[in-house]
Structure formats: C-alpha cells, structure tokens
Amino acid sequence: MSITRLARAAIRDLRPYEAAIQVDDTIRLNANEAPWRNSADHFHRPLNRYPEIRPARLRALLAERYGCAPENLLVTRGTSEAIDLLMRVFCTAGVDNIVTTFPTFSMYEHYAVVQGAELRQVETDGDNDFLVAAESVLTACDDGTKIVFLCSPNNPTGTLVPRDTLLRILEDRKDRSIVVVDEAYIEFSGAGSATDLIPSFENLVVLRTLSKALAFAGARCGSVIGNKRIVDILDAVQAPYALATPVVECVENALANESLADAEHCVAETINERARLRAELEKFSFVSRVWPSAANFLLVEVVDPAALMLHCAKDGLLLRHFAGQLANCVRITVGTPEENARLVESLGRLEDKDG
C-alpha cells in the first residue's frame, strides 16, 4: 500500500498547477509576460520571463550533492517551506498530531499550530546530553500521529539522533507515520546523512539546506528528499514558480566545485573553532556547563543569562536566550576566529566585573 495513503484525502489525487509551457527559442505569447527586459535586469536568465515551474538543473545538482535521484528531491524555499508542505499534506486539522522532541526547532510547533494539528513533545534531559530515546518517542505516537520530526543535529542542543534510534522509530512507524529527519546542520557533525535509508523506508523524509554549511541563508534554498510518491504529492501542493530566477542562478553558482571547496574549508574551520570556543567558555566562573555539539553552535548554561545577554548586547554581540527548560541557557553561534575572540574578550570583562 502506498505511503501516500497517510496524506489528507482531499489532496491525495491533487495534480500540479498546469502553467504555460516553456520551450527554448520560441516566441512566448502564452504566459502574459512582459516582452521586454527591465533595465535593472542583469541576470543571465531574463527576469521578464517566469522561471521554470521546477528548476530542473538545480534539482539535479542538489540531488548529486545529497546522493539521491532527482525524482526523490523537491527544491524548496528553505527547510521551513518543506516543513509547512509536509504539515499541510499529511495533517488534518483537529484530527491528526505530530510528535517532536523538546527542546527542538520551534518551527515544527509553529506550523502545527497553523495547520491545526496537535503537538506532542517528548522531553529530553540535559543531564543526558538531550539524547533522544526511541521508546519515549514511540510511546507518544498513536493512530493519529502523521509525522514524527527529528532534528539531527538538534537545534538548539547540538545533539545527534543515533542511527539505531532512527532505525527503531522508522521500523515501528513504517506504515503509520512519516518520519522527518531535519539535517540542517549535518555537515558540521562528521556523521552520515540518513538519505541512504530512503530506499529501505518509504516513510522517511530528509530535509537539507544551503543556509548553514554553504553560507546561503539569504538565498532561501532547501531540499526535501524522500520516496518519489511523497515528493510528487508535495510537488503538487507547492506553489508554481516557487524558486525565483536570481535564486536559482546564484545557487547553481554556489554548487560549483570551487564554491563547494571553499565551503568545506569554512565548515572545517567552524568545527575547529567550535572546540576552541567551548574550551574558552568553560573557563569562566559564570558558565555552569557547555554541552557537546555536532552543529555550528554551542548551548551554554550560565548563572545569570539576562545579565550576560545585556552585557554582550552593549558590546555589539547578539546571543540567543531561551525560556522554559532552557531558561538558564544561551545559544552561541560559532563565528569567525576574530568574532569568537571578540566574544571571549567581552566575557572576560564580564568576569572581571563580577569578580
């Protein structure tokens, strides 16, 4: 039985929007486009013409990068759009639920609220490095659980989901839930992607992004990777012309070999800086704990987070403060060596002042 039976009945047979056909070297009088180029248009592809419905070359380049077939990948406007599409496709308002861990990326909750799906959160323990337990996740699931979201490495804790944990959840929910592995930070972890499991698990969906490791957050380009049946139904729901022409062009350039080599160098530097910054942070008396991280940030428990945030803000340094379970924590993104040195210097002045 197809995994698409988990999708909302109203859209199981939905077909993509039929846009005007696009054929090279023809006079296009079929799409109500302007026939002239704007004087501010300096892109290779003319902006007076609609972009491709789905950017074929970009899709192929991303599929090559992520080790999957192009038909198993849909290009999205960041992973946020992918999360939204998944929620709209699989969750019926007032009926279905999603399961996530906690703390985790807040956009899972955001789009659950937008879609009217129940949110079930499985709390993880900081004393156990926020490790995800398969049995706890599965206990939270029932017949109405349409999606399980696992962020690996997790934001904001930096924790990886162990392979055996993922396999246990995938197997148990095999024909009952979509299991989404959000790998926004995977390049900083040294771990392999879960995409190699897609041929074995029809219910697995992997999210990838260019925002972190490729330093292209402003381009808003991500990918949702999974079984072709899932990709096809997400494709039918996604807006036509979702990726703007300038975005497609610049991302294609970012996926060139030279740009990828530069990005790999920067990722390696970030990993080195992460270790160095953690060691420096652990020296301060007001730092209670710095958790290990497989991402490009560190979660830090401090004595007085409000005072720390205020002090850093006055020095022109912005950190992220959370509430609830993480009320005593701040998340610090690993910057350049110079930015990290400036942070450590600033915190040194705070230490001297408190001392």
Kindly report the CATH number that applies to the domain delimited by 22-255. Answer: 3.40.640.10
- Residue 67: both structure tokens together: 């080790």
Tens of pLDDT, residues 232-252: 999 999 999 999 999 999 999
Write down the pLDDT at residue 355: 58
Token pair of 137, please? 């996740």
Fold match flag (22-255 vs 259-354)? no
CATH class of segment(s) 259-354: alpha beta
CA 281, CA 260: separation in Å to the nearest integer?
31
CB 319 within 8 A of CB 308: yes
Give the number of other CB atoms < 10 A from CB of residue 307: 14
- Residue written as token pair 């190699």: 196
* 198: pLDDT strictly greater than 80: yes
In Å, what is the CA distance from 241 to each residue of 18, 56, 70? 11, 12, 18
Q: Is the pLDDT of residue 8 over 90?
A: yes
Provide long-range contacts, Cβ within 8 A and 24+ apart, for 50-53: 50/19, 50/20, 50/22, 50/241, 51/241, 51/243, 51/244, 51/245, 51/248, 52/22, 52/241, 52/248, 53/16, 53/17, 53/19, 53/22, 53/240, 53/241
Distance of alpha carbon 27 from alpha carbon 209, whole angstroms: 36
**How much of the chain, in percent, has pLDDT values that exceed 90?**
89
Question: How much is the average pLDDT of 80-87?
Answer: 98
Q: How far apart are CA 72 and CA 226, in angstroms?
A: 5
Could you tell me the pTM of the whole model? 0.95
Domains of the chain: which residue ranges?
22-255, 259-354
